[in-house]
Structure 1
């Protein structure tokens, strides 16, 4: 199945990322925040990889926007408007607030169950979608939006971003933003680098497209299939005001992620946490 093939490829890239020291095990922020500087005239470095040729959409000239034009006021940066680190928590949402986030979807095998659980408890979350999955499941994007969830950009094909040229990063982010905007009528305001591996190029290009970078505070490590009880324990032990929890709704067998959400979500609510998302400006 498609998501199994994607999972195998991502495990290979993850091992590469760990091997070359591009990222750490949890937050995996790129070790060199400067990244690869652009060549004169804007040409990408030689040998840099781009989106797979098999991608159904070709790279587009997705329009660039100033970062401050479409971001919530409380998160707008000081000049110059390019961050050097992603948000890892959102304390300004309130002393009782937490954020749940899900990467790699939407996947028709798992995303509907996650959406149903969130709907049952009246909770909103952030979904960082891959363009190749979003293009094939636009109905699920619309369902996310209708339920008040935040739909963010997680690249087109889930590559290791620091290994890409600037041109390739623009294509990965631009094609995904285009799918989201065409489907929902508005561009994404947030993006998350695959594997949490960032560099200066990704910050600059994401900012030019009007998106804020979002990492996470608590990694459930659900992609390793550690068991439902282990995922529940990690989320509950990491719970705190402003925390952003990372989980997945695609990229492999996510049945444990689905079952874990059904257990830890009512427990977090009972503990007094308000599960919410950043607001649009």
Structure 2
């Protein structure tokens, strides 16, 4: 008698477990969820979405920039670099090339931090080797780091193998120091060729040029750099400046002047984010 009761209880437990398992499988394969399990229900009523503060909006990256990656995950091979970004509102991107340089990059990072703004830094691998702490700071503060080759050569005069070496070595040191491989690259001097576009795509990077060139490398004066940025300001604009490669004290002072003015004028200075499928 006791044995029959144990068998009956065992059958009941197995029947219940089978029912629960069937329900779980049905939920996991429900339409619209693919092969992933449905998310757990929210605990309690959904809280109302509060409006973003100005600083939070400035720190939010752009979305919808450029065509998304293909379904295979391969980066498209372009015939020309991207010149501007797309996004809602008056959005702009500030970019700084040739660094990092311990004389100027920290001051630029300090100004960006003061206004809670993120920017892009296209770094040279040989500069990173002696200034890894600055790349680590860029990562901590949410800036985007791009590939500007190892030694800043004119790519149009190099062999395909040499271009790959310049770009690949820089990708490797960025990943080791910054924590991620770069998704953007910029040719030194803005000199692109077919090999650079193809190799950049093979390394998973999109080519980004600029819309407004401050020509700060010519040291035209702080006021001139400020005027060039403010005159060229418009939705989607990408501004080119430098934080290394020479005396960049004018670039540092100019950023301190034009950044708060752009923000007060209603511009949202942020960084692009690629869409991944």
Give the TM-score normalised by structure 1: 0.72
- Counterpart residue number, 2:82: 87
Q: Counterparts of 1:124 and 1:145 in 2: how far apart (Å)?
A: 11
User: How far 1:98 sits from its partner (Å)?
Assistant: 0.2
After superposition, the Cα gap between the structure-2 partners of 1:126 and 1:273, relative to the gap in structure 1 and judged at 3 Å, is same
Please give the residue correspondences for 1:37-48 in structure 2 after superposition, counting only pairs within 5 Å: none
Please give the residue correspondences for 1:5-24 in structure 2 after superposition, counting only pairs within 5 Å: none
Task: Give the alignment partner of residue 121 of structure 1, picking from 109, 115, 122.
Answer: 115
The one-character-per-residue Cα deviations of 1:38-63 (angstroms, maximum 9, x if unpaired) are xxxxxxxxxxxxxxxxxxxxxxxxxx
The 3-state SS of whatever aligns with 1:75 is coil
The 3-state SS of whatever aligns with 2:240 is strand
Aligned residues: 210
The 3-state SS of whatever aligns with 1:98 is strand
User: How far 1:186 sits from its partner (Å)?
Assistant: 1.1
Q: Counterparts of 1:84 and 1:233 in 2: how far apart (Å)?
A: 32
After superposition, the Cα gap between the structure-2 partners of 1:75 and 1:246, relative to the gap in structure 1 and judged at 3 Å, is same
Q: Counterparts of 1:247 and 1:74 in 2: how far apart (Å)?
A: 22
- Counterpart residue number, 2:196: 202
User: How far 1:96 sits from its partner (Å)?
Assistant: 1.2
After superposition, the Cα gap between the structure-2 partners of 1:73 and 1:109, relative to the gap in structure 1 and judged at 3 Å, is closer
**Contact kept? 2:68, 2:274, Cα under 8 Å:** no
- Counterpart residue number, 1:59: none
Bigger Rg, which one: 2
Aligned-CA RMSD value: 1.7
- Counterpart residue number, 1:160: 154
Please give the residue correspondences for 1:40-79 in structure 2 after superposition, counting only pairs within 5 Å: 74-76=66-68
Q: Does 1:246 align with 2:240?
A: yes
Task: Give the alignment partner of residue 93 of structure 2, picking from 92, 95, 99.
Answer: 99
Moved over 6 A (4+): none
Structure 2 unaligned runs (5+)?
Answer: 1-63
Q: Counterparts of 1:205 and 1:75 in 2: how far apart (Å)?
A: 19
Q: Does 1:224 align with 2:214?
A: no
